[in-house]
Each structure stands twice: as C-alpha cells, then as structure tokens.
Amino acid sequence: MLPMAERYNYRQANDVAAAAAHRMEEDTRTIWFENEDIQAADSPYLLPLLQDSFASWRKDTEEQLMFEDGQFVLFDWEMNLISSTVKLDSQADVISTARQAAASIIASGTTEEEHTLGAVAVPVYTRSDHRPFCVLVYITETKHSSDKHVAQLSAIHFRTCFYRRFEQLYIKDLLMHQQRTDKEASRRDALFLAAKRLYDQFDVTSVLSEMLSSLEQLYPNSAAHLFLSQDHVNGDPRVRPLVFKNAAHDLVAKSFLEGKLVTEQDRDGTKRLAVPMTGKQAAYGVLCLTVNAEGWDDADLPAFLLLADTAGSAFENAKLYEQSNLLINELRLINELTKRLNQSLKLKEIFKFATTELLGVFDADYCCILQLNKEKNQFVVMSSNIPAMSNEHFSPEYGFSGIVHRTKEPLIISDYWHTRVVNSKLMDNTGARSLIATPILVESEVEGVIMVAHKSANFFSYDNYKLLQVMSTHISLAITNASLHAEVRRMVITDNLTGLHARHYLNEQIQSRQRKDPLGALILVDIDHFKQINDTFGHQVGDQILVQVSNIIRGSIRQGDIAARWGGEELAVYLPGIRSDQAYRIAERIRTHVEAETKPVVTVSCGVSEWTFENEKISVESLFYRADMALYEAKNNGRNRIYVGQAN
C-alpha cells in the first residue's frame, strides 16, 4: 500500500489530469479548428509557444503538492532547454539529470517514458499525427512507483495547456488577420468613395480640395500638401507651386523628376512620403504626406499610391474639361467678336468696339489700341479707356509697343514695377502692374499694337496671353477690311487727277445737308480759257493747272467744307451753314490766289448760290442751277470775276 502522502499526491495528479482531459474534450467540442496542429516547419518558432505553455501549465498546477516531491524540466526535441521548476540552488544537477533522461528517450526514438535514477522522461505528441515535439522530465529525490503516473498525467496536462495556448495564438492570428482584412475592406470602401467623389468633380479646384480632404480622412494624424508643376490659382494653403531649387536633396523635386515614390525619415521619427500625381498625358505635381512613424503602417502605402494615381487621373480629366470649356468659350467669344466686328466698316467704330470687348473679356482695367502711321512713322492711339491717352503719338521704338513692333511677337509682363525692362507711359500714368500686348499684323507687317493692363500683379494667365493673340488676328482682319473699304470708297468718291471729291459724292452730301442744316452755299469755279491752255501748252500742263487750282481751293476752305470736280475744268465747293455773302468772300479768296499762284497764270470765274430752309423749293438741282447761271453771267461779263445767283 502507498504511503498517505504518495496516495494524496497521486490522487491530486489524477484530478489534475482528469480536469485537463475534460477541458481538452470540451475544447475539442467547441472549437471548430480542432484539426489544426503544429507542423514540422513551425519548429523554429516553437520556443516562445513552449515557454508560454509551460508557464501556463505551471500556473495551473502550482497549487498542487506534487512540486514538493519533485521538479519538472521541459526540453524540445532538439534537446534545447525550454523551462523548468528547478530551484536555483540545485539547478545544475537536476538539469543535468533531466537532460540525460530526455536525451535517452530522444536518442532511442521510443514512445514510452524513460526511467533513470530519480527521473522520468515523457515525450509530448502532436494531436493530429502523434509526432513527438518535446520532452517533459519529472525528477524526484526518491524513486516512487507513482512517479510514472505523475509524469504521464503532467505530460497530458502540459499538452492540453500547449494546445490551449496554440489555439489562443491561432485565434489571435485569425483575429489579427480578420482585423487586417476588415481594415483593408474599410480602406477599399473609403478609397472607392474617395475615387467616386474625385471623378464626380469637373472643377480643378474641387478635385484638389476633395483629394486633400480624402487624405485627411484616410490618415487623420498626418499633414498633406500638393505641389503643382503648373500655374493654378488656389486659395488652399496646402496647394503650393513645385519649385526646383535643390533637386538632389529635395524630396518633392526628386520624386517628380524620377517619377516614383520617395520617402525619408527625420531623427524625431517623422516620416515623409512623396509620390508623383500623374495622369495619362503627364505628371501634374507631387503629393507629399508627413506622418509620425508610430501612426504609419507600411500596409497603408498601396492605398496612398492608389489615391495619388486616382487624383492624377481626376485632375487630368478636370483640366481637360476646363480646357475644353475654355476653348468652347473662346470659340464662342471669337465668333461673336468676329460677327460684331464685321457689322461695321468704320475704323473708329471697330477700334472703339474692340477696346470695350477686350476690357470685358480679360476683366482688365485699361486697354489701348495703337495704329502705325507710316507717313509720320509713329504709333497713334486710336482707342483707349484712358482719356489722357487719346490721340497720343509714340515713336515706333518707345515702350512696350516698340518691343512688339521690333520683335513682331506678343509679350506678357507679370509685374511691371519689379521687372521694369522699359518705360511705359501707359503703366506709369495708370499704376498698372500686369500687361499683355500683341501686334496687329497685316501681311506679316506690324500695323498696330493692342495693349491690355491691370492694376494687380500676376493678373493675366498664359491662356489670356494666347487668347489675345487669337483675338488680335480677327481685329486685324476687321481693321484691314475697314481700311480696304475706306480706300475703295475714297477711290470711288475721289477724282483721281485733282484729289477732290467726285460729283456724285458732292450731290449726296448736299442732299443730306439740306435735310439737317438750316442753310448752305455753293461756289462753282470755272478755269477761264482752259481750252487755249491745252492747245497752247498741251494737256499735261492743263492737268497741272487743274491740280494747282484744286490745291488752292482745298487750302482756302474749312475742314468741313466739300470740294469736288464738277466736270472738265469746272470745280465746285459746298459750304455748310454759310450765306452767299460769306461764300462770295471765300470765292474771292480763291480767285485772287489762283491768279497769283498758278504757273502758267490762269484766272477763274465763279458763280455763287445759297439755300435756306425758308426757300419754297429746296433741292440740289435748283442750287446748282442758280450757281451755274451766275457762273454763266460772270463768264459773259469778262471772266475773272464772281457773280451771285438770285433765288427765283
């Protein structure tokens, strides 16, 4: 019969083993992955699991009395010491004994426990393929028959603790995997929504704002900035221009130039990531994210790269949409401008209309259109919203108009006061800082210059610069058409020899004046003995006499008076708002100047008539008839004299 203490220990060991077996059976019933087990490939990673399992087993059994009679030592199947309950003062001897027992059983490959002096070694098997993976050694100072049972039951209990710990780790891995999967699913959903919101935007500013907001939601403990490689006015301080100062050491510039992700980490642990924001056509900037190392997981990197790629495509689409709308608006604007310009063939109206349109299109403060006067070799301000600039004259070498005239190229000035390349009366007098200017070209020659200015610096964009060039082409065509029309009309209403107006133009003007003015006078001038001059000196001299007399008439009348060649050697002058007595004095001035200044000397006879709104019959024919009768009377009374026709 066993001693009481031994029976007590044995009974306790049985109870522990039974409880462990019950737990294992319960675990087997409730856990769905009961067939999961360690594999041979897991051997390098078993050490912490065995240590934790031994600690768990020891905690379960530390209240039992079996540790008072013996100690336990655990080895893996490679004879590595895992852990033990041996006290420090006897550790070396006990471990040595345990190692011998464990080595014996491992070397023999037996599945039975090994008995040596004071030690029982029991292999622990896997639950699926019954493969030994560690050895539990029980050591007592005195050998008892119950040692074998204690060792066996302890091994079973340890195996239960091991698999419980193994299952906990397995579940932990599953939970971590599930959390990671849930996180990735959540991240994918967030990315999908962010991508949808990005692609829903058709405005460049909205795309950029949405992208930065999405970054803040995905990475709440970070700071995001976007560095754009192209001009874009954006009120968000996180959107900045991309500047290449030191590309070798600048994270952002390096990422843009190399076209790939670039990262760096500061000494304080702050991590910075820069990735190009690219579309199908080009790279538009760099997205930079600054985050603490603790708040960053490398698993977040694909999402960051995907968002940058999505933002690049959305930005490109918005930019293309913006450019398409801009082109459509420009075409509509140009079409409307061309239609409006072609409605008038008067140069003054075209210049004035063009000035008004340019101010509105570019939201500018000032506009000047200059035309080159080739006879005087100077630019003349034909139209401007600056009263002080009206009819100003400039040398073709002066100011910005001089640069445009010399280069035949448009120009853009972002800030006149900081980059004062030339003096400009337009900019100085108005205080303007931004300027765009373009030549008005006719057959590749500069015929004028258009200048548009604004008080603010950096006001005009490159698109404005290009649009002004296109608009100048259509303005140039309108000016050319109006000039050609004016020239054709001048030729139609002008006598080629004398340079005076044609007779039909004089008739039209008198008829028009009689509908508006209260009175007017007509002088008919006839060169005396003109046939004799032709017969004596020849028709060439006769033509010269006609030109001389015409020039004298032109110099003797007012700017608003109308002189015309009435026919042959007869000339006519209509004087709006003049009575016959004043007309007589003007005719006398013409007569005396002709007699004194012509070579060969000739004389003229003149007939004068007038009309007033009080006349019963007002017509061009009656006015000419009375003047013609007066001229006939002057010629019949000796020539070189003036007669005034009387109203009937």
DSSP 320-346: HHHHHHHHHHHHHHHHHHHHHHTT---
Return left, alpha or beta for 51; rule: phi > 0 is left, psi -120 to 50 is alpha, else beta: alpha
- Check residue 608 and give its pLDDT: 96
Measured CA to CA, the distance from residue 37 to residue 30 in angstroms comes to 16
- β-pairing, 222-228 vs 239-241, is parallel
Show the tokens assigned to 359: 């101010």
Show the tokens assigned to 597: 């200044």
- Check residue 442 and give its pLDDT: 84
DSSP 39: -
- Check residue 352 and give its pLDDT: 86
**Top-confidence residue, 626 or 266:** 626
Residue pair 180/299 in contact by the 8 Å Cβ criterion: yes
- Check residue 520 and give its pLDDT: 94
- Check residue 272 and give its pLDDT: 87
Residue pair 310/278 in contact by the 8 Å Cβ criterion: no
Measured CA to CA, the distance from residue 521 to residue 576 in angstroms comes to 7
Helix ranges restricted to H, 81-146: 91-108
Measured CA to CA, the distance from residue 106 to residue 93 in angstroms comes to 20
Q: Is 569 marked active-site?
A: yes
- Check residue 2 and give its pLDDT: 39
Query: 333: Cβ–Cβ under 8 A, 6 or more apart, which residues?
Result: 361, 471
The band of 114, judged by pLDDT with boundaries at 50, 70 and 90, is low
- Check residue 518 and give its pLDDT: 93
% of the chain beyond a pLDDT of 90: 28
- Check residue 480 and give its pLDDT: 78
Q: What is the pLDDT of residues 15-33, one digit of tens each?
A: 555 555 555 555 544 555 5
pLDDT score of 176 more than 90: no
What average pLDDT does the segment 203-222 reach?
77
- Check residue 404 and give its pLDDT: 92
Closest CA to 424 of 385, 442, 397, 456: 397
Measured CA to CA, the distance from residue 84 to residue 80 in angstroms comes to 12
Across all residues in the chain, what is the average pLDDT?
82
- Check residue 417 and give its pLDDT: 87
Least confident among 318-332, 375-389, 581-595, 616-630: 318-332
What average pLDDT does the segment 397-419 reach?
90
The Cβ of residue 481 has, within 10 Å, a number of other Cβ atoms equal to 15
- Check residue 244 and give its pLDDT: 74
How many C-alpha atoms does 206 have within 13 Å on its Cβ side?
Answer: 13
Q: Is 68 exposed, middle or buried (0-12, 13-18, 19+ CB in 10 A)?
A: exposed
- Check residue 8 and give its pLDDT: 40
The band of 628, judged by pLDDT with boundaries at 50, 70 and 90, is very high
Closest CA to 596 of 623, 556, 536: 556
- Check residue 239 and give its pLDDT: 82
- Check residue 205 and give its pLDDT: 77
Least confident among 60-69, 337-346, 367-376, 623-632: 60-69
Residue pair 280/312 in contact by the 8 Å Cβ criterion: no
- Check residue 7 and give its pLDDT: 40
What average pLDDT does the segment 375-394 reach?
87
Q: What is the pLDDT of residues 333-363, one digit of tens each?
A: 777 777 776 766 677 888 888 888 888 888 8
What average pLDDT does the segment 144-148 reach?
80
In the numeric block, the tokens 């070579």 are attached to 599
- Check residue 607 and give its pLDDT: 95
In the numeric block, the tokens 């004596």 are attached to 536
Show the tokens assigned to 218: 């995905």
What average pLDDT does the segment 118-134 reach?
87
**Top-confidence residue, 247 or 260:** 260
Closest CA to 227 of 198, 203, 202, 250: 250
pLDDT score of 493 more than 80: no
For residue 626, CA distances in Å to 73, 508, 618, 629 come to 149, 18, 12, 5
- Check residue 28 and give its pLDDT: 46
What average pLDDT does the segment 75-81 reach?
89
**Top-confidence residue, 226 or 623:** 623
| Type of residue at 434 | S
- Check residue 235 and give its pLDDT: 65
Q: Which one of the listed residues 113, 316, 569, 570 is annotated catalytic? A: 569
Closest CA to 565 of 624, 499, 615, 474: 499
- Check residue 89 and give its pLDDT: 56
The band of 596, judged by pLDDT with boundaries at 50, 70 and 90, is very high
What is the residue-wise DSSP string for 608-625? Answer: EEEEETT-SS--HHHHHH
What average pLDDT does the segment 71-82 reach?
89
Q: Is 456 exposed, middle or buried (0-12, 13-18, 19+ CB in 10 A)?
A: exposed
The band of 191, judged by pLDDT with boundaries at 50, 70 and 90, is low
